[in-house]
Amino acid sequence: MAQPSYAVAQSTAVQPASELEAREAAYEEAKEIADDPKMGIEKEYEKEIEAYREENGEGGIIEEAKELVTKVTGS
């Protein structure tokens, strides 16, 4: 009785250039953070805050309430 044979397929997939560039950018960013952890973390925090503000607006309800109180009280 014959045994089944299993073909070995070689992967010839090539990563798209954009994926490779994204990996390189992430590596460079991680390298900067590793060089100066405190400054790297602060830079990352600032980027996240900026992205959040772009998405959700500046200040939010607290700032609007402060402005309203200032407007009403005249202070």
**What is the per-residue pLDDT for 1?**
58
**What is the per-residue pLDDT for 73?**
92
What is the residue-wise DSSP string for 16-64? -HHHHHHHHHHHHHHHHHHHSHHHHHHHHHHHHHHHHHHHH-SS-HHHH
**What is the per-residue pLDDT for 7?**
59
Of the two residues 11 and 36, the one the predictor is more confident about is 36
Q: What is the mean pLDDT of the segment spanning 2-11?
A: 62
**What is the per-residue pLDDT for 70?**
92
Q: What is the mean pLDDT of the segment spanning 23-41?
A: 83
Tell me, what amino acid is at 58?
A: E
**What is the per-residue pLDDT for 12?**
58
CA distance 48 to 61: 20
CA distance 12 to 10: 6
pLDDT of 51 above 80: yes
Burial, 12: exposed, middle or buried (Cβ in 10 Å; 0-12, 13-18, 19+)? Answer: exposed
